[in-house]
Amino acid sequence: MDPDPQRRFPQKKKRPKGHASLLHAADVFRIITERVSVNGPTRVSLRGRALSGPDAVKAVCDAVLELGRQGSWIGNNQTRISPTTTLNLASGNICPAGLEHLVNLLLDKRCQLKELNLVDNPKLGVHLRDVQDTPPAHTVTHADDDTVVDGNGCEILARAIRSNSCTLTQLNLGGCGITCKGAGALANALAGFEDGVGDAVGDAGDNDRLNTHRRTTVGSPNLEHLNLRSNDVGYAGVCELATACAKHSVVREVSLGNNAMVTDTARRELHDVLSRNRKRALLTELGAACEESGEKSISLRRRRLSDADAATIAGAIRPGGCADCLVSLDVSENDFTSVGIDTLAHAVRGVTGNMSLASVSVVGNPGAHFDGKKCGSDSQTASDRNASNFKNDSCDTKKSKVNFTTAAQKLLGVVAANFLLHSGTGEALKSIADRGLGCAGAREVAGVVSATTAFARDDRSWAFVVTAIGTQHNEIGYEGCAAIANAFAMLPNLVEWACYANPIGANGASSIARSISAPGAFLKLKSLDIGGSNIGDSGCCAISFAIVGHAALQELHLDHNDIGNTGGSALVRSMERTADSNRGAPTRNAGLRRVWLHGNPRVPDVLIGRVHELANRTATKDDLEAQTRGGTCGGTSGFELQSELESVVTKNSVDAFVYERAERHARFCFDGNKQSRDLHRSVDTSSFFADRVAANAICTYVYRLPDHVETTRGNAVVAAIVAHSTGRGGDCDAPGAGDYLRTIALGVGTKFMPNAVAIAASAGTANRYEHVVHDSHAEVLARRALLRYLNREMRELVLEHTTHVSNSNNQGCPTAAPDLVISSMGKQSETETETFRETQTETFRVLTLAGDGSGFRLKPGTSLHLYVSTAPCGAASATKETFTFAEGAVDLRSNDSSNDTVRNLAPKGVTFGVSSVSRDTAPMRHDGVTHGHKTNTQNRQPRDVSEYDLDDVSYTESFADVDERHERGVYACGGSRNAKAMTKGAMPVQSRETAPAPGCVPLKNLASAFGTPGLTLSCSDKISRWQVLGAQGAALSVLIQNPIAFSSLVVGRKFDGDSLRRGTCCRTAGFPHAVFKLSKPKHLSVLKTNVKVGAIGGDTNDDAASTDSGAGFTMNSNSRPFQKTTTGKNRAGFIADQSRAGAGDSDESLTWCHGETVCTRHDGRTGMSVGGGGPTPVVARAWQFADFQKTLGALRGKREVLDLRVDDKLFSVKNARDAKALAVTYAAGKHAMLKARVPPTSAIVGWRGSS
């Protein structure tokens, strides 16, 4: 042997990474605190940091327990659970004495470690004591006189593993010099002292008994993975491990790679035992998910499951299996091949298969994807890209789509068929869209539907019940389209079929046309949507000829289909022939009422105009017939009823419930996301306030809209208006110690009515245009909900005032009236009267009486804050751009005498205010460079700008002098392209310019968007307008004269403080408020939040909130009072095309305002009620005006509240246009915003655009 102990020959020993200097006990807490501030408390890693000795290891254990200050409570003994779940001490120089401290940590009830990594700590096993780095003895060639020492680390660890209180699930002991002796010690600890449990796997019925017996007789009940790679374990050690694993039954994986002494026979014996354990554990987990109180949902994502495991799952979900009632299954990112996926499909298919499984995800499995061409799909053209821009309504660049194999498509198809059979009447927006069915999956769905229809015996069958189906975004080709068209044609009561954004091509459209033309097919079909499907002229011609004289079809979507003159002409001829056939018909007219033909640039404008003219003619006849029958205009059946309202007791109880959980989650996210630079900031900042606002909004969303949380696909886009009250006598310098937050309005949605469709609607009757919702983006819906809330609150205040005056004149009666709940459309029900009488608690208010006959005003101490889960569309989410002065522009911020030319532009007797900031203090970017000049940055840069966002200041400064702070740090130049106003939509195909912001088109001038149908301002522009004129709008400005503006804008995803400020409040700089004696536009603090909607779940313990702070908000739905228990699921994982996950949720749009029991819904694409037709949505202009009329009715004759005569014009207005005309102050502000003379370099000039 080599006599030199320093000479070593490594044998496949992994080289330690990240070696650094020794870490002493005195420095441990500081190092861990710094790393936790960056990475969060759940994972503590000191990989590569050699600990100086046992004291340093003990310091690590103490620091982990000290992190429990951010954890959850244990019972009522005021003990906190440590949030750390992973501890990495690889290459940490751990010795046996130090390991004793780690064992004590594992046995501490405050410890919740799941993974312990001790790789490359050779002192725990057999090692060379006197050789440098003390390598494992088996890895080096050493002399006979070298001292070989066994650290007995496994015997020490056995004390923790033997305990039932050990929470470890993974233990990594690779490269620790473990021999058969050490492996035997681990095996004995796992097996415990009970020999009665054998290694045979019983049937599923014995699982509960065996599981209970194991937990009371063997070791750590949670240990699943044991890593013994690169050690010196031999045959005997493996045999002992196999025996122990058979008794323990929870261990599923033992890694023995790079153990030269392990034979293949021993590996096979251990593999067989572990396979039985995996099967047993999988069956137990599946059975637990299907317990009576369970969710009937399970996620097996990233479990490294094989085809054998797929067979186990298939057996469990078959009828009679332990999981035969499973509803949702996630097996994404495993190792299933097409064989395993086929096995699952066979378990679901047919009358002998599973009938309950309605959702499955196989994304990321080798057998689920391929890179070839999809079957039965026509070639894509340039129009398909346009179709994606509209139909997805995405603000992101287009990404590659998922190509599923035939096996995966079949599995998705049989599961989708199960969903349909349990969907009742169905709904196109919540049907089997976004599942990646392809042609094979479509054929599976068609087979089930055809069989169900053929064997339907009475009206109770699903075939007679279903009225709407959606198969959009499924990559269905013409073969699959033909199959489902033939199947759906036989459904007797099918009213709506959405099949848009599928590459069916002309052949697919022809197959649909043949099904429509077949006798007895699609008898009641009213709406057909095949937009974005590349059907071309031939497909349009086929559809046009098939629908001639169709008695039911009223709505046809052919948008973004590469249709040209030939197809457009065929559609016109079809509509004309149908109109001719209606002449003299005594019954209801046949023919299309709504046609979507936009996105087909080759169709001449003359033909498009003719199509809309014929459609409006038919729709107008329907309006006249409806009026004759006593109905309403717009093809509707009246106004949608407002949601029932809660009693004040219920409202206050729910608000307190939401507030408590939101505050706790906000604190958790704020503390968990602190960076190392924040450690010196001892006060709560505006970032914490932002987290509080976001947490309150999201908690309200999870509580109030549970069904949407469950079923949404992709990332939901949520907007909320949160009221902040500081009038409770508390210390406002300490957020949460006296102030109060309450969400009063919610909006969820990503859609807007296409320009061409809006123009077509305006070409009909005015009532038809007012009865649809043109913009269903979340911010707009939240503001509409706010108007609904303000109207109701004003009516309640009037009633309270009237009751108070009446009672003050009648001694013995109370002098104040409680809250009154007004029912939908102004009718007071008996329930509301009872609620009025029973309420004896404080009623939350945003408004108060102005007290001088001038109506209402915002309550003192109350401010409104706008939360948006993602940056608003438009300038606020514009691409990065350097904002510089336009050539020849004048810097209004300097005191140079050249500005006299600007002052001369002002009207006579008016002087524009010029900042007193000198040229040396010109505004700067966050990189310390001034705009337009070079200057010394020392002592001139705005405070905190270099290190923090401009509005990230202490809480006491958050809403004080915001305009001054923005003037120092922001400059929105009129010459900037991104400063211009924008409308929602896609850039023309022929345009060579890129969109200034995702999903937006630049406007030539701002004024052109007002009163012009088809031009929908971006949300950034609308927020800017609200900050100038008030969010209450023109009509309500007569009743609430002071503009209601937001104090802050809290944004989750896509946060860019500079763009958000320049795109909202700072673009109004230069507004001549003094000239017109108007209120100065309010600057809002732009704040980033760490609380994200993201992946939303409902089964997480709400005390722990989230293992990854800021990754998503969760709420324990089991503790929700007053409502039925509902559990939310993360639907983002079940959307087939992950490139669309960030595009927002489905076409469904929702609103809710404070006090309502349920939310209201409408179709964001069409702007009408879900399913088409139906009543006027709550957020439509016509409904809003009717609500405003109720408020006027309550105010009439109450001159002490609103000093107007009963015969004033305001009380007799017939439409919204007349009401706006009476808003004189609002009109003056609008004129000043659009046309008043302002300095040419003001930011508002860039916003206005060219005249």
**What are the tens digits of pLDDT across the range 592-645?**
888 888 888 899 888 888 888 888 788 777 666 655 554 444 444 477 777 788
Residue bearing the bigger pLDDT, 670 or 234: 234
Residue appearing with tokens 């310019």: 993
User: Is residue 653 within 8 Å of 1190, Cβ to Cβ?
Assistant: no
1094 DSSP 8-state letter: B
Q: Mean pLDDT across the stretch 498-502?
A: 92
Residue 157 tokens, joined: 């660890």
Residue 151 tokens, joined: 């650290």
Q: What whole-number distance in Å separates Cα of residue 73 and Cα of residue 1077?
A: 57
Q: Dihedrals φ, ψ of 577, to 5°?
A: -65, -40
Residue bearing the bigger pLDDT, 564 or 139: 564
User: Is residue 628 within 8 Å of 762, Cβ to Cβ?
Assistant: no
Categorize the per-residue pLDDT at 1251 as very low, low, confident or very high, splitting at 50, 70 and 90. low
Tell me whether residue 957 is exposed, middle or buried, using C-beta atoms within 10 angstroms of its C-beta: 0 to 12, 13 to 18, 19 or more: middle
Name the average pLDDT for the chain: 76
Q: Which residues contact 846 (CB under 8 A, 6 or more apart)?
A: 723, 744, 789, 790, 793, 858, 859, 862, 864
Tell whether the model's pLDDT for residue 349 goes beyond 80: yes
Residue 594 tokens, joined: 């709504």
Where is 1008: in which H helix or E strand?
none
Q: Residues 400-438, buried b or exposed e (16+ Cβ, 10 A)?
A: ebbbbbbbbbbbbbbbbbbbbbebeebbbbbbbbbbbbb
The confidence score (pLDDT) of residue 1200 equals 87
Tell whether the model's pLDDT for residue 919 goes beyond 60: no
Q: What whole-number distance in Å separates Cα of residue 657 and Cα of residue 648?
A: 14
Q: What whole-number distance in Å separates Cα of residue 642 and Cα of residue 1187?
A: 10
Tell whether the model's pLDDT for residue 935 goes beyond 80: no
User: Is residue 1053 within 8 Å of 868, Cβ to Cβ?
Assistant: no
Q: What whole-number distance in Å separates Cα of residue 925 and Cα of residue 944?
A: 12
Q: Mean pLDDT across the stretch 734-762?
A: 76
Lowest mean pLDDT among 274-288, 485-499, 1232-1246: 1232-1246
The confidence score (pLDDT) of residue 551 equals 86
Lowest mean pLDDT among 226-230, 489-493, 1028-1032, 1144-1148: 1144-1148
Residue bearing the bigger pLDDT, 634 or 267: 267
Lowest mean pLDDT among 21-35, 374-388, 928-942, 1082-1096: 928-942
The confidence score (pLDDT) of residue 86 equals 94
The confidence score (pLDDT) of residue 5 equals 40
| DSSP bridge pairs for 126 | 150
Residue bearing the bigger pLDDT, 914 or 572: 572
Tell whether the model's pLDDT for residue 376 goes beyond 90: no
Residue 560 in 3-state DSSP? Answer: coil
Separation in Å, CA 1105 to CA 72, 667, 870, 1076: 9, 10, 21, 51
Lowest mean pLDDT among 156-160, 782-786, 838-842: 838-842
The confidence score (pLDDT) of residue 628 equals 55
The confidence score (pLDDT) of residue 546 equals 94
422 DSSP 8-state letter: T
Q: Mean pLDDT across the stretch 797-822?
A: 57
**What are the tens digits of pLDDT across the range 754-774?**
776 777 666 655 566 788 888
855 DSSP 8-state letter: -
User: Is residue 182 within 8 Å of 137, Cβ to Cβ?
Assistant: no
1028 DSSP 8-state letter: H
Q: Which residues contact 626 (CB under 8 A, 6 or more apart)?
A: 632, 633, 635, 636
Categorize the per-residue pLDDT at 282 as very low, low, confident or very high, splitting at 50, 70 and 90. very high
The confidence score (pLDDT) of residue 193 equals 44
Q: Mean pLDDT across the stretch 1201-1217?
A: 85
Residue 993 tokens, joined: 């310019």
Neighbouring CB atoms inside 10 A of 955's CB total: 18
Residue 85 tokens, joined: 């779940």
Query: What value does the CA radius of gyration of the chain take, rounded to a whole number of Å?
Result: 34
Lowest mean pLDDT among 137-146, 662-671, 1241-1250: 137-146
Lowest mean pLDDT among 143-152, 293-302, 1123-1132, 1176-1185: 1123-1132
The confidence score (pLDDT) of residue 585 equals 59
User: Is residue 292 within 8 Å of 264, Cβ to Cβ?
Assistant: no
Categorize the per-residue pLDDT at 879 as very low, low, confident or very high, splitting at 50, 70 and 90. low
**What are the tens digits of pLDDT across the range 91-124?**
999 999 999 999 999 999 899 999 999 999 999 9
The confidence score (pLDDT) of residue 206 equals 47
Measure the CA dihedral 508/509/511/514, to 10°: 180
Residue bearing the bigger pLDDT, 640 or 1193: 1193
Lowest mean pLDDT among 65-79, 225-239, 370-384, 540-554: 370-384
Q: What whole-number distance in Å separates Cα of residue 1096 and Cα of residue 702?
A: 8
Q: How long, in residues, is the chain? A: 1251
Neighbouring CB atoms inside 10 A of 123's CB total: 21
Residue appearing with tokens 């002449």: 583
User: Is residue 723 within 8 Å of 864, Cβ to Cβ?
Assistant: yes
Q: Mean pLDDT across the stretch 763-789?
A: 82
Tell whether the model's pLDDT for residue 587 goes beyond 60: no
The confidence score (pLDDT) of residue 201 equals 37
Lowest mean pLDDT among 24-38, 312-326, 671-685, 749-763: 671-685
Categorize the per-residue pLDDT at 1078 as very low, low, confident or very high, splitting at 50, 70 and 90. confident
Q: Percent of the chain beyond pLDDT 70? A: 72
The confidence score (pLDDT) of residue 714 equals 65
User: Is residue 1088 within 8 Å of 870, Cβ to Cβ?
Assistant: no
The confidence score (pLDDT) of residue 671 equals 73
User: Is residue 237 within 8 Å of 183, Cβ to Cβ?
Assistant: yes
Q: What whole-number distance in Å separates Cα of residue 188 and Cα of residue 186?
A: 6
Lowest mean pLDDT among 41-45, 85-89, 633-637, 932-936: 932-936
Letter for the amino acid at 255?
S
Measure the CA dihedral 278/284/289/294, to 10°: -150
Residue appearing with tokens 């108070």: 804
**DSSP letters along 593-655, please?**
SEEE-TT-TTS-HHHHHHHHHHHHHHHHHHHHHHHHTT--STT-SSBPPPPPB--HHHHHHHH
CA angle 973, 979, 982 (to 5 degrees): 170
Neighbouring CB atoms inside 10 A of 1225's CB total: 19
Tell whether the model's pLDDT for residue 474 goes beyond 60: yes
**What are the tens digits of pLDDT across the range 419-436?**
999 888 887 777 898 899
Lowest mean pLDDT among 346-350, 995-999, 1144-1148: 1144-1148
